Structure 1
């Protein structure tokens, strides 16, 4: 049984004017799952990237089993038995599952594909994973890619596994599998560092937890056997320094004769099938949540409503104006905004600063840099972005990227379409985001949003549409739903009437 004790002592790391880690010490015992908790931008990811060799600290020491070590690269970390599973797994999309599993294995080319296949299948059986060795990486969900990367790291002899926000974007079933696998690793004597901002995950899984805030360690506690209510309050106090209150949800908008958005006999392109939508009328200020397993068509629906994906058939009307088949620019001019989940691929432009993003919004042929700087500074202050006008967006934490993306949305908007508005955000940032969104609804903006967080959907939606098995339900008042019932609806489609007749939909009682 391999056991490894890890210690980081007095770690300092600075990025320009930002002190990401300040005198941070962390001790992780062998055979334990140690939670590293903190809000977005607290310095958690920086610390574990130093341990895993992706970054070098400015000052401090790393000790393994009582001996000081130098970790100058990810390869050096792996040789010492330390591996990191990133929030977005590091894999090769053009290769198969088996080829990715083999990647990076030292001196094992002679084993051949047959032996490697046996090793992969045996590892999958041990942890209950269902991975096709010949399958393409592009066909895997985020959770399955995580499973593959974890098995690859373990095959390299990892004794300390670091996971950075691993439950973001995976299903409940995949999370259960992941947690069972991590407990098994701890039982085998391996140490696990679980980086998260989700209190419930840490409370469910970890033996101990260390809390960081603004680059420093502010507390450490045992988790096992503790009173959950008291533990949660202490962790919130350490993370944020104050009590958090959800934003007040305004009353549902009154039905009007003239809706803001109308969908009539709409059929959305969603490979490998077409998605038939029920006729829908959305009122100004209304919030509609889109629930469903990942890849069930929510994204295709939002892209179609934004003018980014032409419908197969049907009509889209905005304020009574025909929008079907019109280009994306026309939707923008009519006050439609789209906020994607992938901030750095679709929402923001890596390599550009915040100021340059605001400069791109100017309509004049010549950029007014003084105006761009003024707008950027105002956004930083209003949206509480931890950065400065010259910060490149990829250097910001996930929460600050989301705040920046919201800051760049036009005002006013008639319709806001959002994918996973709080994915990867800590509690405070998520509450802040929804405070901003609900302010927009007060001004008449209607919001359609997709989320994997069913609590979020029920808390903020007026009505909910469920995507399941290639069908979409009629909108259901959120007050009539519970998390349990909604979860069942996402996997148990039955006949229900829509504009196109009787098609599989959602049961009224489960």
Structure 2
């Protein structure tokens, strides 16, 4: 790629939030028709930089040029007018409306809607960029990958020449990732420039032309993607060599610790969600549960935690029937729970020390009063053991996502549970925090705990699990040893395209 005037040039960008300097004199260039990966740990400043470019934040100092001309970007409207679009992890779509209505929503000069004409225009734009979407489909009926395509189409329909994608593959199955990458290569050929923010370094080195790494609000390196590797990028991101945890040889795993026997349960509206789930997790084993969001994973976790009623079937923990048990009895039976929404698992205005003891505060009581000295000592011990960057008296809402997750881990694992149900444990976490969480889960496996790991990240499941089950439509549609599983095979099962095991509980009780 020949050097030319960058389509975007950011110079000396500074941004402060209170005492935190999020961007410190950042320079960033984006060439026309390139895919430029922007990497860094959570808090490194990459999302702040792109939010400034899209007009969601205003820089305290620095300048932006588009096509070599100074640009004043005070809002997303200004960015869109300059041909800059952004697709975040949380899509901004109106679920009851059609694809076409979402794409043209907010367009200026549209006092009257000619839906037929608009559908033709949206179809033409989709075909041009290779985005397979039905213009008449209602958004609420679409898969995550399809919704992402609508968001991209919405930006391109507004003549975007620069597309910012924030963690675009985080919730996609492998087949959808491939479709996304084909779209990006097509956009690149059309001259569209892409900023690709991701924690998945193998994807970055595969799709990107250039890579820029940020750390502590500064750029620490920028290079052609072909001249680096995932290991080198990981070292640049954290400032030191990161050793990826490896799964030790499995100890004898023939003692059933968690048994789900023909379990049925309803969703929040009273409609059937779990339909005859049969699954077994043995002591010293991690069973991964793969599935596209909304296929019953959340309900299954709540069932085992005791927060959702079981309509039919049995749940056994170490041989004891806990089918009708509530949360307190489930904990007494040895079930530890690490829910998918870490913010909902803590009380934001309470301290770190109070949150660490939240599920057993009665143990810190003394004559009807809370023994705060003992509570603090307990927190200090766990903070040191779990390498949490916080003080006992800090409000937990002030912690980063990684440190908040460590608090929840500490609270659960110090009880040495026999069964651990963990949902999306590293969602939104950077490479350092992810490796730490993975190491702790493998430690629990070696201790002999039975772990049900629910994750939409197939790389995570393939790395940690001994067996992987796939859930689709509230049923287990496949169970296989992790060493025989592939992302492609799992992806097909996740969208209901292949039932390879001959029955929902095949291999589940082995």
Task: Indicate the TM-score class for this superposition, using the shorter chain for normalisation.
Answer: 0.7 to 0.9
**In the TM superposition, what are the counterparts of 1:194-273 in structure 2 within 5 Å?**
194-223=196-225, 226=226, 230-255=228-253, 259-269=256-266
Kindly indicate whether the alpha-carbon contact (under 8 Å) linking 2:273 and 2:473 is maintained by their aligned counterparts in 1: no
Q: CA deviation at 1:86?
A: 0.6
SS of residue paired to 1:457: helix
Separation of aligned partners in 1, 2:195 and 2:129: 19
- Cα distance in 1 for residues equivalent to 2:389 and 2:58: 22
Question: SS at 1:236's partner residue?
Answer: helix
Deviation, structure 1 residue 302:
2.4
| Alpha carbons 1:492, 1:506 under 8 Å: kept | no
Aligned to 2:277: 277
Give the distance between the partners of 1:476 and 1:145, measured in 2 at CA. 30
| Structure 1 residue 391, shift from structure 2 partner | 6.0
Work out the CA distance in 2 between the residues paired with 1:12 and 1:24: 7
- How far residue 193 of structure 1 moved from its aligned partner, in angstroms, is 1.0
TM-aligned CA distance change 1:8 to 1:97, over 3 Å: same
Q: How many pairs align?
A: 492
User: Aligned partners of 1:352 and 1:138: how far apart in 2?
Assistant: 37
Question: Does structure 2 retain, via aligned residues, the 8 Å contact 1:352–1:392?
Answer: yes
SS in 1 for 2:183: helix
Report if aligned partners of 1:337, 1:410 keep a CA contact under 8 Å in 2. yes
Give the root-mean-square deviation of aligned CA atoms. Answer: 3.3
Please point out which of 461, 468, 473 is paired with 2:465: 461
Could you state the TM-score of these two structures normalised by the residue count of structure 1? 0.84
Structure 1: which 5+ runs fail to align? 500-504
Q: 1:198 to 1:352 in 2, by over 3 A?
A: farther
Separation in structure 2 between the aligned mates of residue 50 and residue 376 of structure 1, nearest angstrom: 38
Task: Give CA deviations for 1:258-301 in whole Å, capped at 9, x if unaligned.
Answer: x32222333344766642233x4433332111134444433333
Contact 2:478 2:501 (C-alpha < 8 Å) held by counterparts: no
Asked if 1:15 is matched to 2:17, the reply is yes
Partner residue of 2:502?
A: 496
Please state how far the C-alpha of 1:497 moved relative to its aligned partner: 5.2
Asked whether 1:338 is paired with 2:341, we answer no
> Against the structure 1 CA distance between its residues 430 and 210, is the aligned structure 2 distance closer, same or farther, given a 3 Å change threshold?
same
Structure 2 CA distance for aligned equivalents of residues 396 and 163 of structure 1: 25
Q: Aligned equivalents of 1:391 and 1:366: distance in 2? A: 21
Question: Matched residues in 2 for 1:284 and 1:67: separation?
Answer: 63
**In 2, distance between residues paired with 1:91 and 1:403?**
33
1:441 aligns with 2:445: yes
Between the aligned partners of 2:424 and 2:327, the Cα distance in structure 1 is 21
TM-aligned CA deviation for residue 431 of structure 1: 1.5
Give the TM-score normalised by the residue count of structure 2. 0.84
Q: After the TM superposition, which of the residue ranges 70-79 and 23-32 deviates more from structure 2?
A: 70-79
2:428 matched residue in structure 1: 424
Q: 2:356·2:407 contact (CA, 8 Å) conserved in 1?
A: no
Distance 1:52 1:482, change over 3 A: closer
Cα deviation, residue 53, structure 1: 1.4
Q: How many Å apart are 1:417 and its aligned residue?
A: 1.0
Question: Contact conserved, 1:268 with 1:277, CA < 8 A, in 2?
Answer: no
Deviation string 1:140-175 (CA, Å, 9 cap, x unpaired) is 333222211121122223221111111101122222
2:33 to 31, 42, 47: 31
8 A Cα contact 1:40 1:400, kept in partner: no
Deviations 1:75-131 (A, max 9, x none): 222222222111111223454433322322112232433332222222333344443
Alpha-carbon separation, structure 1, partners of 2:492 and 2:102: 34
Within 1, Cα distance between the matches of 2:154 and 2:80? 11
Tell whether the 8 Å contact from 2:309 to 2:324 is kept in structure 1 after alignment.
yes
Distance 1:36 1:380 in 2: 31
Question: After the TM superposition, which residues 92-491 of structure 1 pair with which residues of structure 2 at under 5 Å, given as runs?
Answer: 92-223=94-225, 226=226, 230-255=228-253, 259-269=256-266, 274-278=274-278, 280-344=279-343, 346-348=344-346, 357-358=355-356, 361=359, 362-363=361-362, 382-385=385-388, 390=394, 393=397, 398-409=401-412, 411-412=414-415, 413-468=417-472, 471-472=475-476, 475-483=479-487, 485-487=489-491, 490=494, 491=497
The DSSP-based 3-state class of the residue aligned with 1:409 is helix
Unmatched 5+ stretches in structure 2: none
- What are the Cα deviations for residues 32-81 of structure 1, in whole angstroms up to 9, with x where unaligned? 11110122322211111111111222222222222222222222222222
Partners in 1 of 2:117 and 2:348 — Cα distance? 41
Q: How far, CA to CA, are the matches of 1:117 and 1:232 in structure 2? A: 42
Query: Following TM superposition, by how much is the alpha carbon of 1:202 offset from its aligned partner in structure 2, in angstroms?
Result: 1.3
Q: Secondary structure of 1:163's partner?
A: strand
Counterparts of 2:93 and 2:347, CA distance in 1: 22
Q: What residue is the counterpart of 1:502 in the other structure? A: none
- Which one of 60, 63, 81 corresponds to residue 62 of structure 2? 60
Q: What is the distance in 1 between the residues matched to 2:372 and 2:185?
A: 54
Aligned counterpart, 2:80: 78
| Distance in 2 (alpha carbons) for counterparts of 1:190 and 1:373 | 54
Structure 1 pair 153–377 and aligned structure 2 pair: CA distance change class (3 A): farther
Q: Per-residue deviation at 1:220?
A: 0.6
Secondary structure at the residue paired with 2:288?
strand
Secondary structure of the structure 2 residue equivalent to 1:34? strand
Change in 2 beyond 3 A, CA 1:105/1:495: same
